[in-house]
C-alpha cells in the first residue's frame, strides 16, 4: 500500500507524462483511492470526490516541478491534498466540535451503519474530536498524515515541505494535546520510541 505495485516508479510515470500527458492517469489509478479515503475521513464523503479530482489536477499541472529523485509520489500527492483540506479547515473543525459537543460525528454518520464494529470507544471520541479541533492546522496535518496516511516522518516533511525537526516537534505537541484530552498523564509516554519506529 506504500508504493507503486510493479513496473515503473511514480517518478518514471511523471517523467513520461511530460511527453505523454495522458500517462499521468496511471498515478490517478494508483493513488486516487487512498487520497479519496483520506479526504473523506477528514472532511466527509461530500467533499472527497472534488478534493481528489482537484488534487490530481494540481499535481498534473505542477508535474514539471516534481523531484524525479523521489520514486514514490504518495507524499507529494498527500501534500497537495493537505493543502486543499487546509482551505476547508473551518468546515473540518466545525464537524469535530459538533462531535465533541453532541457525541454524533457528522462526517462518519454515513458510514456508521456499514461498519461492523466501532473500534473507538464512544467515550473517547468526544474528547479526541475536541482535541483535534483545538490543534493548529499545521499540527493536525502532521498528526493525521502519520496516523491516517501512514506516512513516515521523512515523507511528512516532503509532503508539507517542512524540515524533519519541525515534523517531530509538531507531532510531539499534537500527541501531547491529544493525550491530555484523553486524560492520560502526558509525562509517561516517551516520544523517542515512536520517533524511531517512524523515522
Which position among 148, 152, 166, 172 is part of the footprint of another protein (CB under 8 A)?
148
Continuous H helices in the chain: 10-19, 25-43, 45-61, 74-86, 89-102, 109-112, 122-134, 137-147, 153-160, 164-182, 191-198
Segment lying near another protein (by CB under 8 A), choices 70-78, 143-151, 152-160, 161-169: 143-151
Dihedral sign for Cα 123, 128, 129, 131, please: positive
| Residue 199 binds to another protein (criterion: CB under 8 A) | no
Helix (H, G, I), strand (E, B) or coil at 187: helix
Cα separation, 68 vs 65, whole angstroms? 9
Segment lying near another protein (by CB under 8 A), choices 70-78, 139-147, 156-164: 139-147
Contact set with another protein (CB under 8 A): 6-8, 12, 15, 17-25, 28-29, 32-33, 36-37, 40-41, 48-49, 52-54, 56-58, 60-65, 68, 105, 107-108, 111-112, 114-115, 118-120, 124-125, 128-129, 132, 143-144, 146-148, 175, 178-179, 182, 184, 189, 194
Amino acid at each position: 500500500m506504500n508504493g507503486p505495485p510493479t513496473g515503473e516508479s511514480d517518478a518514471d510515470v511523471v517523467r513520461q507524462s511530460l511527453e505523454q500527458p495522458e500517462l499521468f492517469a496511471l498515478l490517478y489509478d494508483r493513488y486516487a483511492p487512498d487520497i479519496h479515503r483520506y479526504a473523506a475521513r477528514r472532511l466527509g464523503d461530500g467533499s472527497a470526490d472534488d478534493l481528489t479530482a482537484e488534487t490530481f489536477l494540481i499535481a498534473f499541472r505542477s508535474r514539471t516541478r516534481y523531484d524525479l529523485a523521489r520514486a514514490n509520489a504518495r507524499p507529494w500527492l498527500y501534500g497537495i491534498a493537505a493543502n486543499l483540506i487546509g482551505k476547508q479547515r473551518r468546515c473540518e473543525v466545525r464537524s469535530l466540535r459538533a462531535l465533541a459537543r453532541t457525541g454524533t460525528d457528522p462526517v462518519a454518520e454515513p458510514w456508521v451503519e456499514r461498519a461492523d464494529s466501532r473500534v473507538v470507544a464512544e467515550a473517547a471520541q468526544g474528547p479526541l474530536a475536541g482535541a483535534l479541533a483545538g490543534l493548529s492546522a499545521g499540527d493536525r496535518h502532521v498528526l493525521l498524515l502519520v496516523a491516517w496516511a501512514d506516512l513516515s516522518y521523512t515523507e511528512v516533511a516532503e509532503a508539507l515541505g517542512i524540515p524533519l525537526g519541525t515534523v517531530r516537534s509538531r507531532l510531539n505537541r499534537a500527541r501531547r494535546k491529544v493525550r491530555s484530552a484523553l486524560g492520560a498523564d502526558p509525562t509517561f509516554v516517551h516520544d523517542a520510541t515512536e520517533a524511531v519506529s517512524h523515522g
